[in-house]
Amino acid sequence: MKAINNIYKIFSWLLLSLMLMTACENDGDTMYLSSIEGSDFVVTESNVKLSKETSTAIVLSLAWTKNSFLSTSNPSMGTTATVSYYIQISTDADFKYRSDIYEESANDFSKAYTGAELNTIAKTLGIEPGNETPVYFRIRSVTGANMDGPYSKVETVNITSYLIDMSVGHVLDADKVDTGVTLYSPDTDGIYRGFMGASGWYNYYLLEGDGTLWGNDGVSGTAFLMSSENDSDKRWNFWFPGITGCYYTEVNTNTKQWSALLLPSLTVSGDINAEMTFDRPNVKWTAVFNATKATTLTVKLNTVGKQYDYSTGTDDAAAKDSPVTFAPDGQNIVLASQAGGITVTVPEAGTYTLVVDLSKPGAWTCTAVSGSEEPEPVIQYLYLPGIDDGITGGDWNFNHYMKLYNEDELSYAGVFNVNSKWGYSINIEKDNWDDKYTMAEGGTAYAGSLEFKGQNNIPAPTAGLYLIETSLVQFTYSLTSIGNQVYVLGLHDVWDFNTPLTATATAGVYEGPITINSASPWGFVIHLVNGDWDRKFGGSDGKLYYRGENIKDDASLAPGTYQLKVDIINETYSITQ
């Protein structure tokens, strides 16, 4: 595809051409209005193949020059006519029938189409998906009181469109990358539903089949309101409440509101009685049971959920109790007003796992699977023996550990007073010296890749205070040095690095005055490095959490000056007057 910035070169060339028009020799000569020349309208592509993968990318651009439709034979004399421009698109090269023409107004002198926008136009024109079809473009000018002026020359673009499926909404991550998770709109009515396994404060966008991208409306304090504005200041990503778990999610593009119904548990009763375990990455609930013979079992599934929506925001205390029950629907199960008897068959005596699979919208199932299939518990801590042997006199211990903060990426973090003589390892279980990660070839003391049960300890950095971060999905580690100050951002909704806390004599402890003028709608956070927006602590009730929910104590404090003290090693904070 040609670079879009070539348009500006085309603009410059066209404008120069128009400026070189020959003027009449005498002011009294007859002056003529001339229509657009063929070279005054250009398109950047002659063949465009569309796909869902290119739906958000610019695939085609048009450009024309100002007043090129209505120029005079004497450049020294201007025209007073107001000219409006409209882009016309048709599958008929002659543009014979108005009903076969797609038309839109053009506010500027160029137009860039994303793949989704062009695909929607192709659907409007009746183009069959998958077939290369010549599509014709021209510019219509309107002068004065809605009088049609001349048209541009016609440009041809061969377009291969794709099928627009409005029954599926695609969940994109915060970077707008497709996660593979979908929500379902069986009636293609703009209401998408389904279960999602979300970590606390997980954020996402929803992409419709026609390329419309939905997120939060970009207004402070209005969680669960939606926007499809392209301006990043007017559309933020959606975010779940702070509780990790199973959410029944509904995104309603008609009301422009979405909601999240948390299932904190799921109880199976009847021929099987158990509290089920949630397998969040696979969006499944499981329970192991024993069958004494081949039989058909009847069970019921129910819980009391917590409903979060625009009226509650993400406030856990405001979330509304909502009964959740399932009933059979052919081979599948569905949400129902009353729990229905769901049957599962076991072919013989033995150990089985009841699996409630909610991963496929519109095709939820409840089945018995032979064997024990309970999910492996996620490791909550990673231990760092050797991280402080320069302080302990050579003793290696399991006293220091990183905490899990992102279950999707298996990301861990912690702040440590590092003083290591021989380097250190990252161990997955307390007092287990064998199951550990070490540095892979090419690593340094400050960043690198991990190798399970490798030969090389992670090298010791210069002694000091460091944030250590690790991902057991990417198998990487990194260290960030923490200086003599950390920073408070968000007080009275001011987000800058101008409120520092100063290091005390105790490693990891910082203290300083803060002024509260009014409660911030977002609370405040502790950032570890000046100018670094990612490495931060939130918290509540005196506890700090790496990349956790913002601290909202300012909402309950009167305006005034306070002393804020944070311990980023032990992850605590206090506010005193």
Per-residue pLDDT tens, the chain, 577 aa: give them.
433 444 444 444 443 343 333 333 333 343 334 444 444 789 999 999 998 778 778 999 999 876 555 544 444 444 555 778 899 999 999 998 888 899 998 877 899 998 888 998 998 999 999 999 999 999 988 876 566 668 889 999 999 999 888 999 999 988 888 888 999 999 999 999 999 999 888 889 999 988 889 999 988 889 999 999 877 778 999 999 989 899 999 999 999 999 999 999 999 999 999 999 999 989 999 999 999 999 999 999 999 999 999 999 999 999 999 999 999 999 999 999 999 999 999 999 999 999 999 999 989 999 999 998 767 778 999 999 999 999 988 889 999 999 999 888 899 999 999 999 999 999 999 888 989 999 999 999 999 999 999 989 999 999 999 999 999 999 999 999 999 999 999 999 999 999 999 999 999 999 999 999 988 888 999 999 999 999 999 999 999 999 998 999 998 899 999 999 999 999 999 999 8
Q: Are residues 444 and 342 in the same domain?
A: no
CA triple 224-228-229, angle to 5 deg: 115
Amino acid at 185: S
In a domain, 114, yes or no: yes
Given 137, 161, 185, the domain boundary residue is 161
What is the chain's length?
Answer: 577
**Beta bridge mates, 245:** 198
**Token match 């290369």: residue?**
132
The total of structural domains in the chain comes to 4
337 and 214 in one domain?
A: yes
d(CA 45, CA 494): 46
* Amino acid (1-letter code) at residue 45: E
**Which of 450, 481, 512 is at the close of a domain?**
481
Instruction: Count Cβ atoms within 10 A of the Cβ of residue 247 and give its class: 0-12 exposed, 13-18 middle, 19 or more buried.
Output: buried
Q: Does one domain contain both 134 and 89?
A: yes
Check: CB of residue 378 under 8 Å from CB of residue 404: yes
Q: What is the CATH number of the domain that holds 566?
A: 2.60.40.3620
The whole-angstrom separation of Cα 320 and Cα 306 is: 5
Q: Are 41 and 138 in contact (CB under 8 A)?
A: yes
Gap between the Cα atoms of 256 and 314, Å rounded:
17
Q: Is there a single domain that holds both residue 544 and residue 572?
A: yes
Say if residue 248 is in the same domain as residue 385.
no
- Is the same domain home to 102 and 170? no
pLDDT, position 340: 95
**Within a 13 Å sphere around the CA of 81, how many CA atoms are in the beta-carbon half?**
23
Same domain, 186 and 329: yes
Residue 568 CA neighbour count, 13 Å, CB half: 38
460 and 408 housed in the same domain = yes
Does one domain contain both 362 and 400?
Answer: no
Q: Which of 369, 400, 432 is the last residue of a domain?
A: 369
Tokens found for residue 14: 């066209």
Report pLDDT for 211. Answer: 80
> Does 395 lie in the same domain as 351?
no
What is the rounded distance in angstroms from the CA atom of residue 217 to the CA atom of residue 223?
8
Check the CA dihedral 359-361-366-370 and report its sign. negative
Q: Is residue 188 part of a domain?
A: yes
pLDDT of res. 494: 93
Domain span at 140: 33-161
The pTM of the full predicted model, rounded to 2 decimals, is: 0.61
Do 363 and 457 lie in one domain? The reply is no
Q: Would residue 8 count as lying in a domain?
A: no
pLDDT at residue 7, as a whole number: 41
